[in-house]
Amino acid sequence: MKKTTVINSELATVIAGMGHMDWLSIGDAGMPVPMGTKKIDLALTKNLPSFIDVLKNILSELEVQKIYLADEIKTDNPEQLSAIKALLPEAEVAFMPHTDLKKNLANTHAFVRTGEMTPFSNIILESGVTF
């Protein structure tokens, strides 16, 4: 049995297959996922699991060098923005309009859906290297 923290088999497979500068996205329960993008649905009910809990779990196994967030998170969900920055203090942060973030989901290896119910709780993680 797997010993590390990501035990969801679909998610572990996607993380294991990522290379430098590949993208993985995590989002709230309402984020639309483009056709053709792999969707790993972890949502059980409202707010379970939370966006931050899923992000923490993924960060336990994925090296991240840059993150992409919606501009709107700055004004509409500053608490979530602070929590994200606290978990990724070394990562470069890029902001874009929410409409562009949604379009960019088509370029990710997968979208991980959470039960999060707060606005603009969506992120694209760009993988780094461990050397």
pLDDT digits (tens, 9 = 90+) for 41-100: 999 999 999 999 999 999 999 999 999 999 999 999 999 999 999 999 999 999 999 999
The alpha carbon of 78 is separated from its chain's Cα centroid by a whole number of angstroms, namely 17
Rounded distance between C-alpha atoms, residue 114 and residue 121, angstroms: 9
pLDDT at 3: 79
Using the predicted structure, report yes or no on whether residue 38 has a pLDDT greater than 80: yes
Domain ranges of the chain: 9-127
Using the predicted structure, report yes or no on whether residue 1 has a pLDDT greater than 90: no
Structure tokens at 13: 């497979």
Angle at 36 between CA 114 and CA 101, to 5 degrees: 55
* Options 5, 9, 16, 20, the catalytic residue: 20
- CATH for 9-127 (3.40.1650.10, 3.40.50.300, 3.10.20.30, 3.40.190.10): 3.40.1650.10
Omega prior to 49 cis, within 30 of 0: yes
Binding-site annotation, residues for substrate:
28, 98, 120-122
pLDDT at 64: 98
Percent of the chain with pLDDT over 70: 100
Rounded distance between C-alpha atoms, residue 11 and residue 13, angstroms: 5
Known catalytic residue: 109? Answer: no
Q: Hey, which bits of the chain come out as E strands? A: 23-27, 39-41, 64-70, 92-96, 111-113, 123-127
Query: What's the chain's average pLDDT?
Result: 97
Residue 53 CB contacts under 8 Å (≥ 6 apart), including other chains: 114
